[in-house]
Amino acid sequence: MNRLADSRSPYLLQHADNPVHWQEWGPDALASARERDVPILLSVGYAACHWCHVMAHESFEDDATAELMNANFVCVKVDREERPDLDAIYMTATVAMTGQGGWPMTCFLTPDGAPFYCGTYYPRIAHGGMPSFTQVLDAIVDTWRTRREDVTRAGDAVVTELTRSAGAVPAGGAPTADALDAAVASVLQDEDTAHGGFGGAPKFPPSALLEGLIRHTERTGSSDVHDAVERTASAMARGGIHDQLAGGFARYSVDAEWIVPHFEKMLYDNAQLLRVYAHLARRTSSPEYTRVAAGIVDFLLRDLRTETGAFASSLDADTEGVEGLTYVWTPEELVDVLGFDDGVWAAGLLGVGASGTFEAGTSVAQLLETPDDPARWARVREALFAYRLTRPQPARDDKVVTAWNGLAIGALAEAGAGLGEPEWVDAARAAAEAVVDLHVVDGRVRRASLGGEVGESAGVLEDYAALAAGLLALYQATGEGRWLQTACALLEAALEHFADAEAPGAWFDTADDAEVLVSRPRDPVDGATPSGASTIADALLTAAALATPDLSERYRIAADASLARAALLLERVPRSAGNWLAVAEAAVRGPLQVAVATDGATALLDAARRDAPGGTVVVGGVPDSAPLLVDRPLVDGQAAAYVCRGFVCERPVTDSAELAAALAR
């Protein structure tokens, strides 16, 4: 029977009515496979995944296919967002076997969990050189029955390779300015200068990489790098990947021009993009970037904030089984909603033409140029969004993931402080309270919760790291010491349970006391989200400047050792080391620290938050109220900013112009 009805995962609950006898991953599933002497059919996906829905409708809801699955396999469903450790292991195996990965992921395992055949989506009917799902099932059943030794040998070989590939990246020297310059030059060779972004279609927002490149321009003043960042940021902001009516960004664009998105909206994308656009808004004073950042916040608070104040994971790619149903338009619809004059004007502005940019003559709204009548655009935008809300809406995955909430907390706190939006900081505080109160249990982090009930899945490295980094940003934005204290406790737990004792600076993605799998995963490469390793390095570097002296040195040593492991990644795969680049840029710059001693006035502190380069640690408060403010008094009764690079400090300054000059040096 299907055992998913009591799951805490919205994705697994989507499959609770399948005729397939699904169960969750765990000892019972493996024991059942041993007792029945059958392989495990492992299916991995997530709630917002379009092709996961397609395979479910085609195969998992089909009685005949389910009968074949139930008779010959122990069928296990995994939410990749809830169990990133399992996803990482079996995705590595899938890529090794097929040369590509993605979701849904379909793996066949021995009862001990060793993968011997892996793939992704399989269609109901064979086409385009792809076998049907039932053909794959029949072949696996035959191989299991007639060539068991081959299966065992293949599984053992894959496990051996998984173990080998999970070794630590060799340590190099500390990142140097020259090494970072070379990494950035390599990245720019892959830029699509015509359409923005890097590489070809499909195009994903290179969020972490953009942050690293912005920091590089702040350090070097490179106009070439700045122009590349602006081309990408502006193209994404005007493209269909950006929801021009409601704010926020879709997961990726299927084309090279950012026109047609894959419509799912993920918390982790929007959190990272908020940081990027808010940073650009601070650096350029651009109304466009300020508008985009504010729109992302609107989306987060309106569409993803849960009743607890934390943030849900995603909005679905499909609406009632149809991709894009909520979002696309025809010229006739615009006229019907807005009237003839405004409808025709909006069609030209939004790129909605008779031929369409999507399917069946429909178009995804773009913003082809800056509206010549902002008041008219505001009225039209409001009317179109109100009408769009009358359409069927995509489902929401209400699962609250620790790591992604950490990214959102940090982005909201940093953007709110830098752009003078205190309500954004308030939202970050509310999310932090919700996540810390529910997800931190006896000093350890849980991965996710649903409906105010925390799940059993243990947090992985990215959960500890992203939450710690987010709380450190919130501490800087609020001066509330509880966030620094909690962040340091998380870092202590991470150092104890995730650091590789045999390779200083290397990290495992699962804890030393986590469930034992066929391999203990670790992947320092940055992907759709920053890797746990680069994020913990970021948090440690920041905490070293904020913590008490007894902890500061410990964190600095750990951060330096972690960055030494990044040298090879920055050299060989710089496009997949965007967060490492951002952390390394901060480290090479000092790291930069600004302590603003105040008597209650905030003008100088506000200027520091607005003008500081990315990665700068900024703390303000009365003298001696925080470790970074010890022995840093007012100057002639006025607020004073103390600017330090590493262990070298300049004389204190007392006005915003002097502070800006000090920060620019």
For 415-446, the three-class secondary structure string (H helix, E strand, C coil) is: HHHHHCCHHHHHHHHHHHHHHHHHHEECCEEE
Q: Residue 171: inside a domain, yes or no?
A: no
Where residue 280 falls (left for φ over 0; alpha for ψ -120 to 50; beta otherwise) is alpha
Q: Residue 501: inside a domain, yes or no?
A: yes
- What value does the mean pLDDT take over residues 272-286? 97
Give yes or no: residues 614 and 655 share one domain.
Answer: yes
Give yes or no: residues 193 and 156 share one domain.
Answer: no
- What value does the mean pLDDT take over residues 315-343? 95
pLDDT tens sequence across 210-239: 999 999 999 999 999 999 999 999 999 999
Give yes or no: residues 93 and 69 share one domain.
Answer: yes
Q: Residue 244: inside a domain, yes or no?
A: yes
The winner for highest mean pLDDT among 41-55, 128-142, 331-345 is: 331-345
Q: Residue 497: inside a domain, yes or no?
A: yes
pLDDT tens sequence across 540-570: 999 999 999 999 999 999 999 999 999 999 9
Per the CB < 8 A criterion, the answer to whether 581 and 209 are in contact is yes
The pLDDT assigned to 167 comes to 80
Total domain count, the chain: 4
Q: Residue 360: inside a domain, yes or no?
A: yes
Q: Residue 170: inside a domain, yes or no?
A: no
Q: What is the CATH number of the domain that holds 66?
A: 3.40.30.10
- What value does the mean pLDDT take over residues 570-585? 97
Q: What is the CATH number of the domain that holds 253?
A: 1.50.10.10
- What value does the mean pLDDT take over residues 97-126? 92
Give yes or no: residues 537 and 555 share one domain.
Answer: yes
- What value does the mean pLDDT take over residues 160-185? 89
pLDDT tens sequence across 490-537: 999 999 999 999 999 999 999 999 999 989 999 999 999 999 999 999
The pLDDT assigned to 476 comes to 98
Give yes or no: residues 566 and 654 share one domain.
Answer: no
- Looking at every residue in the chain, the average pLDDT score rounds to 95
Give yes or no: residues 67 and 146 share one domain.
Answer: yes
Among 556, 588, 620, the domain boundary falls at 588
Predicted confidence (pLDDT) at residue 166 exceeds the cutoff of 80: no
The pLDDT assigned to 48 comes to 86
Strands, E assignment, 28-92: 40-45, 74-79
Give yes or no: residues 424 and 545 share one domain.
Answer: yes
Among 391, 409, 443, the domain boundary falls at 391
The model's confidence at residue 362, banded by pLDDT at 50, 70 and 90, is very high
Q: Is the dihedral of CA 210, 216, 220, 225 positive or negative?
A: negative
Q: Residue 2: inside a domain, yes or no?
A: no
Helix (H) or strand (E) holding 545: helix 532-546
Give yes or no: residues 304 and 337 share one domain.
Answer: no
Domain holding 511, by residue range, is: 180-317+397-588
Give yes or no: residues 412 and 369 share one domain.
Answer: no
Among 369, 391, 413, the domain boundary falls at 391
- What value does the mean pLDDT take over residues 401-413? 98
In the block, which residue shows the tokens 């995730």?
498
Give yes or no: residues 474 and 354 share one domain.
Answer: no
> What is the DSSP track for 219-236?
HH--HHHHHHHHHHHHHH
Q: Residue 63: inside a domain, yes or no?
A: yes
Give yes or no: residues 112 and 208 share one domain.
Answer: no
Give yes or no: residues 225 and 250 share one domain.
Answer: yes
In the block, which residue shows the tokens 């320092």?
524
pLDDT > 90 fraction of the chain, expressed in percent and rounded:
89
- Select from 460, 440, 447, 446 the least CA-distant residue to 520: 460
